[in-house]
A = this chain, B = another copy of it.
Amino acid sequence: MAEPDRPDRGERHLVRQLRALLTRPLDAGDPTPDAVPFGDDMCSINPMDPTLLATVDMLMDGVDFDSKVNDWRSIGRKAMAVNLSDCAAMAAKPVAAVCAVALENSLSAQDALDLHAGMQDCAAVHGCTIVGGDTNSWAQPTVISVTVVGRCGSGSGPVRRDGARPGDRICVTGPLGGSILGRHLTFEPRVELAARIAAELHPHAMIDVSDGLAIDLDRICEASGGGAVLAADLLDAVIHDDARRQAAQDGRPAREHALHDGEDFELIVAVSAATPEVACRRLGLFPLGRMRAAPGLFLDDGGTLEPIPPRGWEHFR
C-alpha cells in the first residue's frame, strides 16, 4: 500500500504539473466547454468534436502483471480491459485500439500472438477493433501500451469526473477489494452497463476504480469541488468476498481492502439527489453515500464521521 497522499509529490502532483505544462487553448479560452479536460479517464481528441475520445494505459511486467505467473493471453486481455474500463468511465463506446509492445527478448512469437489474441478477445466482446500497433523487443521486462479511441452517443456522454454536486447519491457498480487474488486479470469492463447508466440516470460524474475506491472517489471530489460521506453499513455491503479472503490472509480489515485496493474496475457513479434509489438499484448499482459541499472523504459510522485517507495505488511515491 502507498503512503498517505503528500501534496508535493506522487502521481497526482505530477499529473497536475503536466496539466499546467500541456494546458491547451481549449482550457484557457475554452471555445468548446464540452471538451473533456486533461486528466479525466479519457480526453477529447478534437475540440470541435467532443464526443470523440481517447485513452491510453501502459502495463509493465512485474508491476501490473507477472509473466512468471500469468499467461500471456490473460495479460493481453487485461491490457485491453483496463482501457475499455476507461471508456466505460466516460460512457464511451470503444471503437478502435492500437497496441504498442516492448517484448522481453525471451518471449516466443507464440507468446506475442497469445498476448495479442488476449487483447482481441476482450476488445471483440465490446465492439472494439485492434487496427494497428508497434512491435518491439528488448532485454528488459515486457511493456504493453494500449490506446483506445471511443465515441459517446449524442446526449449521453462523455460523463466526466468533474460534474458531481453536493447531495449527489454516490453508487458503485459492484463489490470491491481483494482483486489481487485474480479479478484484476479477469474483470469485465462495464462498457455496456455504463451506456445504460448514462442513458437512464444521466449521472453527474463517473470514474472507474483503478487505484482504489477512496483515491478514485477523491478524484471526483477534487475535480468537482467538494467532498463525500460514505455510510459504513453501505460500504460493508460492497466488501467483496476476495477482500474478506485477503483480510484473513494479511490481518488488515476487509473494509480497508474495499476502500484502498486497486484494480476493481467497477464504476463510481454520482447521480442527482433527485434520482430514486430504486432507479439505481434497478441497474445493479450499490448506494454508498452522498457528495457534500465541504471537502474531505468521511465514513459515517453510526453518526460519527471518520476521515478516510484518500490513498490507494499511486506511482512516483
Q: Which residues of A contact B (CB under 8 A)?
A: 9, 11, 13-15, 17-18, 21-22, 24, 26, 38-40, 42-46, 54-58, 60, 62-63, 95-96, 98-103, 109, 112-113, 116-117, 120, 129-141, 143, 145, 147, 149, 315-316
Contact = CB atoms under 8 A, between A and B. Distances in A.
B113 A17 contact: yes
Contacts of A63: 136, 138
Contact of A42 (B14, B101, B132): B132
A206 B73 CA distance: 35
Please name the 7 residue pairs, one residue from A and one from B, whose CB atoms are nearest each other, closest first.
Answer: A43-B132, A145-B145, A58-B100, A147-B147, A43-B131, A137-B315, A56-B98
A109 B18 CA distance: 10
A197 B47 CA distance: 28
Nearest to A54: B98
Contact of A11 (B15, B44, B135, B315): B135
Contact of A109 (B9, B109, B136): B9
B17 A109 contact: yes
Contacts of A14: 109, 112, 135
Contacts of A42: 132
B95 A18 contact: no
A283 B100 CA distance: 34
A101 to B, nearest CB: 7
A113 B18 CA distance: 7
Contact of A60 (B22, B26, B136): B136
A48 B133 CA distance: 20
Nearest to A316: B137
19 contacts: A14-B112, A18-B112, A18-B113, A18-B116, A21-B116, A24-B131, A38-B131, A39-B132, A43-B98, A43-B132, A45-B149, A54-B96, A55-B132, A58-B134, A60-B102, A60-B138, A60-B140, A62-B140, A137-B315
Contacts of A131: 24, 38, 43-45, 54
Nearest to A18: B116
Contacts of A95: 45-46
Contact of A58 (B13, B112, B136, B140): B136
A256 B222 CA distance: 57
A101 B132 contact: no
Contact of A129 (B24, B112, B136): B24
A22 B112 contact: no
A98 B316 contact: no
A21 B129 CA distance: 12
Contacts of A26: 129
A56 B315 CA distance: 23
Most buried by B among A96, A101, A109, A132: A132
Nearest to A13: B109
A9 to B, nearest CB: 7
Nearest to A39: B132
A58 B18 CA distance: 20
